[in-house]
């Protein structure tokens, strides 16, 4: 669906934008879960906004992000559209590559209905 495409494109685009040189996508699918992990080697999600990710009009005070960061509108829209299609999202700092980690999950029945 266009919502899923937009949402995934937003989070993959953010990983590319904030990464130093690596972005890793992990896909997992079985009868219990469909999961996409988007992992990068950038500065990660700043502490001052980690609990607000997905809200519109947020801006970190982090100097590492000030050049690349916006107001969180793309993340808000991507998260909202994916959740409307049954996804559950979580955001983490210090991923496997040292940067941000976005985890997007669906139950297969919710994803097929999307």
Rounded to whole angstroms, how far apart are CA atoms 58 and 92?
A: 17
The pTM of the full predicted model, rounded to 2 decimals, is: 0.87
pLDDT classification of 89: cutoffs 50, 70, 90:
very high
The reported pLDDT for the residue numbered 39 is: 96
CA distance 11 to 37: 10
Residue 63 CA, distance from chain mean position: 21
Q: What does the pLDDT read at residue 6?
A: 95
Q: Output the CA torsion 72→40→95→70 (10° steps).
A: -10
Using one digit for the tens of pLDDT, what is the confidence trace for 5-53?
A: 999 999 999 999 999 999 999 999 999 999 999 999 999 888 888 888 8
What gap in Å lies between CA 71 and CA 83, rounded to an integer? 20
∠ CA(47), CA(91), CA(15), 5° rounding?
A: 95
């Amino acid at each position: 669906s266009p919502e899923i495409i937009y949402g995934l494109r937003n989070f993959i685009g953010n990983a590319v934008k904030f990464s130093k040189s690596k972005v890793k996508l992990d896909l997992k699918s079985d009868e219990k879960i469909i999961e996409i992990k988007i992992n990068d080697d950038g500065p990660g999600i700043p502490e001052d906004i980690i609990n607000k990710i997905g809200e519109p009009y947020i801006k970190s005070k982090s100097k590492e992000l000030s050049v690349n960061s916006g107001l969180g509108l793309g993340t808000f829209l991507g998260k909202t559209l994916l959740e409307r299609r049954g996804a559950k999202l979580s955001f983490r700092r210090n991923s496997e590559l040292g940067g941000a980690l976005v985890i997007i999950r669906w139950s297969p029945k919710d994803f097929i209905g999307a």
